[in-house]
Amino acid sequence: MKIGFIGLGNMGGHMARNLASAGHEVVGFDVAGVEIDGVQKAGSSAGAAQGAEVVITMLPNGEILRSVAAEIIPILQPGACFIDCSTVDVESARAVASDWPLSVDAPVSGGIGGADAGTLTFMAGGPEEAFAIAAPLFDIMGQKSVHCGESGAGQAAKICNNMILGATMIVTCEAFALADKLGLDRQKMFDVVSTSSGYSWSMNAYCPAPGIGPESPADNNYQPGFAAELMLKDLRLAQQAAKAVGAATPLGEHAALEYAKFVENEDGQGKDFSAMLPRFSKMGQA
């Protein structure tokens, strides 16, 4: 299958490489001019999309997605499938889908490590016909894909998931900082919480305390697997969506405010989102 891939950054580059390694003809474009093993380099978004049976995008935000879509949709061949794996606002996802019937919004979970290993989870919205085209490619790039509903449903699932993730990571870091001040050993706390009602993905699979639990970015000086600024972006998208539909999300709103302070006013830029732990450890000290 001929695949155009637009956006070859930290996530997209690995995803495109995995598709090429699986035997697909992949033509890629990125504004940074990066080159990916096995991926043919195009000179523009339109060049990557020209003649493609499937076009995949992995882009920073909804505004850029709309711009790229406006460039490539007029040249897509009949029957081509447009798969957007960016995390953007629901309105942008639905706007793109309204311009091309075989569109899938399919944001991902799993971070850079999951993109590299081909173990991402895809949350997909769009018509059944389009999802049927996309699903075999999701199987190459990831370990699971869920068809969440009509256009925009993939983005809705992603922002709801990451609102939970952002809030649970904050309280997990708060709990470790509190345990430290109470004289409770971190390993003992993990042993209790990870097998008790405080169990969560943030604790068990992505523990923010170095040397505790499975290896995580905390063991690499909080170099990002999922950057704090990306978590802030997703939490703000969740708040944007909540306001649009009149949903009450007080903890989600508070999580967005905490990550905004961390990223914009402190030293969180460029660190993993679990680096909230050293932040809270410093707070309250005399």
Catalytic residues: 158
At residue 116, φ and ψ (nearest 5 deg) are -65, -45
CA angle 183, 188, 193 (to 5 degrees): 110
Residue position matching structure tokens 């971070």: 111
Torsion of the alpha carbons at 136, 142, 146 and 152, rounded to the nearest 10? -90
Distance of alpha carbon 41 from alpha carbon 35, whole angstroms: 7
Tell me how far apart the alpha carbons of residues 1 and 94 are, in angstroms, rounded to a whole number: 26
Pairing of strands 54-57, 2-6: parallel
Q: Which amino acid makes up residue 210?
A: P
Q: What one-letter code names the amino acid at 65?
A: L
E-strand stretches of the chain = 2-6, 25-29, 40-41, 54-57, 81-84, 103-105, 108-109, 120-125, 142-149
Q: Cα 155 to the chain's mean position, in Å?
A: 10
3-class SS letters over 182-214: HCCCHHHHHHHHCCCCCCCHHHHCCCCCCCCCC
Q: Assess contact for 3 and 25: CB atoms under 8 A.
A: yes
